[in-house]
Amino acid sequence: MTTSSTAFDIRRIGGRIGAEILGVDLSGELAPAVVAEIDSALLAHKALVFRGQNLDDAGQLRFAALFGELTSAHPTVPSVDGQPGILPVDGEEGVRANRWHTDVTFVRTPPKASTLRGIVVPPYGGNTLIADSGAAYRDLPEPLRELADRLWAVHTNDYDYAAPKSEKAAEHRKRFVSRKYRTAHPVVRVHPETGERGLFIGGFAQSIVGLGPSDSRDLLRIFQSYVTRPENIVRVVWAPGDVVLFDNRITQHYAPDDYGDLPRLLHRVTVAGDVPVGVDGERSRVLEGDDASHYTPAAA
């Protein structure tokens, strides 16, 4: 189905999440009204796909900056050479994000939104899956929703990873945990713009505050199973030049490791966010590590 807007068309690509934006050239200057419409579409659909844009690094940075201040590439992992705001997502490095996660939730102020740009895309596989954590919350039976509303989870970048498969992967792991972060976030985050509640967990959420390891794993597994229900997921099939924009505050994503030794390279630019707030109005808090002010201008 295609719905008309004053500036572009929106074609839904998932039943609950995801839309393609048709008729917008991101390489040109976008009028403020168009940016506002894209932002509204992002709030409504949570993940937007712009096909065949063929931006360069400067163009991607310019587009992402329309939605707020930018973060640096990552709190611990190096950026693209000469581009401190761009993170290379490189499958050739043996480091593949084949686990469900929300970007950088181990710091107190995770990104508002992420942009991904397809540069080298394998002929098969290498898709990106994006899940609607707001729909997942609504899917919970009422007793589980009431429980989730009261819980907090500890997110960290330093946990029991699987053994790296290569020297490059081992080096990436070493860099990834070169600064240790532990942050307590609400299991249910209230979206700062829409007020929608969503499950704010994913791969960096390792334990539940006040519970032991076994109970924590069991509860997180139950909540996560609702996030990753097929009904709540959209699959983005990449082509070179495509750009994806998703709301990091109410989604998770996953990159299946299904393309063998083929090259895959995306560039990621993220928009600074705010401190998550729970149902009771309490804000996330740092448990270990610094405030990541070197990473995000919104750290205060």
27, 53 contact by CB (below 8 A):
yes
Residues annotated catalytic, as ranges: 101, 103, 253, 268
pLDDT at 208 (0 to 100): 98
Place of tokens 């709540």: 232
For the stretch 199-248, pLDDT in tens is 999 999 999 999 999 999 999 999 999 999 999 999 999 999 999 999 99
> Other CB atoms closer than 10 Å to residue 231's CB: what's the count?
14
pLDDT, position 5: 47
Alpha-carbon dihedral 292, 189, 203, 252, rounded to 10 degrees: -100
pLDDT at 158: 84
Domains of the chain by residue range: 2-288
Whether pLDDT at 189 is above 70: yes
pLDDT in tens, 17-38: 999 999 999 999 999 999 999 9
Query: Pick from 213, 154, 212, 211: which is nearest to 184 by CA?
Result: 154
Q: How far from chain centre, in Å, is Cα 67?
A: 15
- Which one-letter DSSP state was computed for residue 277? B
Residue 161 has pLDDT above 90, yes or no: no
Q: Which fold has domain 2-288?
A: Double-stranded beta-helix (3.60.130)
Write the secondary structure of 83-136 as one string of H (helix), E (strand) and C (coil): ECCCEEEEHHHCCCCCCCECCCCCCCCCCCEEEEEEEECCCCCCCEEEEEHHHH
What does pTM read for this prediction?
A: 0.94
Check residue 13 and give its pLDDT. Answer: 97
b (16+ CB within 10 A) / e for 62-76? bbbebbbebbbbbbb
Residue pair 216/206 in contact (Cβ under 8 Å)? The answer is: yes
